[in-house]
Amino acid sequence: MAGTQEKTQLLLRIAHRLNEAHVEWALGASMLLYFKGITSEFHDIDLMVADRDAECVRTILSEMGESCPSDSIPNPMYRTKTFMEFLIDSVEVDVMAGFAIVKDGKVYDCALRKEQIVEKMPLGEEVVPLQSPLLWCKYYRLMGRTEKAEMIEKAIER
């Protein structure tokens, strides 16, 4: 399994390709929390992309690794327009465009919007757009992942 350094190097390479293609994207989920010092571990790279850039991202990441067909039945908790999984250098990369969470029968639109990119983190020669950890706190609450949400709240209160 790839370690943190390999995953970070891969993120750098992906950032280079996406930035070069002028894709609207942001890093989300636990790798975002890792860079914000909220968690010490993450397993995969979660990328949030604008709907209109989904196919462009599919092309770029397919060139970098292999697309993993998701053979599982879609989780009824999500209504994400485009969800793609890739395996690049033995790292799982998940891409979400039009991310949406269903809770209590209501659909919450969590699609990436430009104003949600609250920070541009320098990484090597590249810039990685970041979503707000508070936004992810809200998403984790909607997903029923209370532990993650509380971890963010505690870190922000510090």
Is residue 71 pLDDT above 70, yes or no?
A: no
Residue 140's nearest CA partner among 108, 118, 115, 112 is: 108
pLDDT band at 40 (very low <50, low <70, confident <90, very high): very high
Token pair listed for 69: 């067909």
**Mean of the per-residue pLDDT values of the chain:** 95
pTM for this predicted structure: 0.94
Token pair listed for 152: 């963010």
Is residue 157 pLDDT above 90, yes or no?
A: no
- What are the structural domain ranges in the chain? 4-152
Residue 102's alpha-carbon distances to 10, 74, 77, 88, in angstroms, are 31, 12, 5, 29
Domain 4-152 has CATH 3.40.980.10: no
Lowest pLDDT segment from 49-58, 73-82, 86-95, 141-150:
73-82
In angstroms, rounded to a whole number, what is the distance separating the alpha carbons of residues 135 and 154?
14
